[in-house]
Each structure stands twice: as structure tokens, then as C-alpha cells.
Amino acid sequence: MWSRQAPGWPDSPPLPGPRLVLEVDGALADQLLRAAQAQDLPAEILANDLLMQAVEQESLRLRAEAALTRLTPREREVARWVVLGHTNRRIAATLVVSPETVKTHIRHALEKLGVRSKAELRLRLSEMGVRRWPEAAPDTLPAPARLPLDLDLPLR
């Protein structure tokens, strides 16, 4: 059932549902008023639009975090490094696994997250606003593991 009209727009259809009134003060109020004037919109309409976008973005972020929990810890670790732009070869060297193992982790992560490529993975998680991961992972990869070499070998 329609219960009220959109504020400031007498010709608009009534808005459904309960009404929530927010008060905005200070710098945020000034920014909102300037933005509304720049877009030639009533501040109430712009505030409503911005809140709807923020709620939608938060919903996307929560879904992304839920999707990330479906990944194994190693898949999350590899996916995070992929999103940060590291190559399969670099990830493999750091994790001391083969590039094929990294590809397998990536393939499983892509399947579980419903995307088809590493580029789509980066874009989807970025669009979803993933800022935190279920467990901490470094922002940069450590140097690849190196095996000690004995350079004092007898020559034949």
C-alpha cells in the first residue's frame, strides 16, 4: 500500500513502507546541500538516493564476504594476491607450490565466486567493496622462498 509521496516532488508516486526521518548537521549537511544544488535536486531526494546506493553497496560487500567464506583458506589467500595483481608464477614461488597448483586454487575460487577470469574476479570483488578478508593476508608478497645452495661443490 502506498503511504506517502516523495518529499519535494508533488507529482511523484507515493513511497511505500515505513518512514524514517534523519537529521544531518554540520559539514555533511553543507556537502549534501551543495551537491543537491549542483544536481538541481531537492536535498531530501538526493539524500534518499545516496542512502539507497550506500545500502546497496553494503549489501554487495556483505555478499562478497559471505562468498569469500566459501573458499578454503588457501583459495582466499591466492584470490587476494590475484586481486592485488600478482602473477601466478610469483604466487607459486612465494607459497612454494607449482604454478599449476596456483591455477587450480584460482580455478576453484572462480567457480565458487561465479566468475570466469582473474580480471572478472578483481572487478567483482572491487565492485562488491571487499575491504576486509576473513583472515589477515599481507598487502605485499614476501620474497619467493629460496633454497640454500652449496657453492663449494667439487667440480668433475
pLDDT digit string, tens, across residues 66-97 = 888 899 999 999 998 998 889 999 999 999 99
Confidence (pTM): 0.54
Closest CA to 22 of 57, 51, 54: 51
Select the more confidently predicted residue: 128 or 54. Answer: 54
With a pLDDT cut of 70, the percent of the chain lying above it is: 72
Per CATH, the number for 26-145 is 1.10.10.10
Residue range 117-145: average pLDDT? Answer: 66
Enumerate the domain spans of the chain: 26-145
Could you give the C-alpha distances from 84 to 2, 30, 125, 126, in angstroms and in order? 46, 36, 11, 10
Average pLDDT estimate for 121-131: 74
Whole-number Å distance between alpha carbons of 25 and 34: 14
Q: What is the DSSP letter of 135?
A: S
